[in-house]
A and B are shown apart, each in its own frame.
Chain A
């Protein structure tokens, strides 16, 4: 029925992603002959820059890997240092870190939903154009994003590259009156966050069921931010120090970001992986927001990532309110740190998924070697696999523009942070 047909799609710069990525797609007579999601953002060599740096400088440097999720890079780095130096932070500091992370999730997820992804679902080129037709939706989104930023400003001094977290806890305790105001602002926005979940869950979404392995951090008592074991939908359950024995990274010619496999296969990290694995830990009143919508978790539809993100915004708003209600001033914002020659691991849930760090420290607390595995490089192999499958399902007979738009929409489900992905390159050389 079809004529022999060749289609080439080239997207030299992908819009509405963080950092610089590109897409190459060739279809020859109904078969995909070439598909590459390339990352060409130049490497910034952070793992080498960290060598010789004092452990307290590390979070200030790793924050600069990503302006959108600096808190994640600070958290994984701090927990690694604390593990290496056998530092036990106080419950107060742990709760405040959780609050800081809530701020980052709200900010990053709201930015992604409204400024990056939603225009795809509603047929706009960008959010500014979308705002003319859906002013209330965009305004609600920007308000929530602003609230995430507010949390980071109050707890961390500023929202991009906050300055307050340190090994041992925090440099200072945010004042009670500011925390009280913040709590009131969050309470006033709770209804907006819930409404957002309903709105996203009812957006028109392609029905595309795929098989994939979800990976996330699991903590027995709470939805995870900073602590837990690494689990997968395939039954993996390991300590964070065992990561390297199960996951491996490799370089591809078309990308400055390394790809990663779990037991030789692509896998998914991020909001959908988390909600798929851990929806049982989300309060039922949040899951009920999905009632009547086509979205249910666990889900095998990658387009439901956006609903997972919205759900995590609502969770973070609730959680932030809870943490703020319990907030009090501590005796000391941080405990002392005594350095020693040791290795430490840090693994936390960045907005985009598992962010794993390992540091070997010298006795004086300076970094000997560092290794950082960001979520986007973990998702890259899975993204290419998804593109193959979703474009087949979509129909390769579509014209180049339709294929490009669908491919971009698929890529944006992962909220790839390309700035992050290129900045970590492992030191182990595997050269033939």
Chain B
């Protein structure tokens, strides 16, 4: 995973922070996706247009896990979101 990459939510996709009940709405497909706590944390920072290195750092610190575990959680989330066209890479 290239940690310098920056992603943003695709058009029509919006993140709503409600702590452990956070969710994402995709207006184009009229779908709602529930997020776990770590996904919500990643989404909140994704919304702020931070690069993946920053987000991995936040996850690592928040959950008190190793860098590798933090990076794995972020990579898994990004992959899932990309597969569903919910996020796109920014330049």
A-B complex is real? no
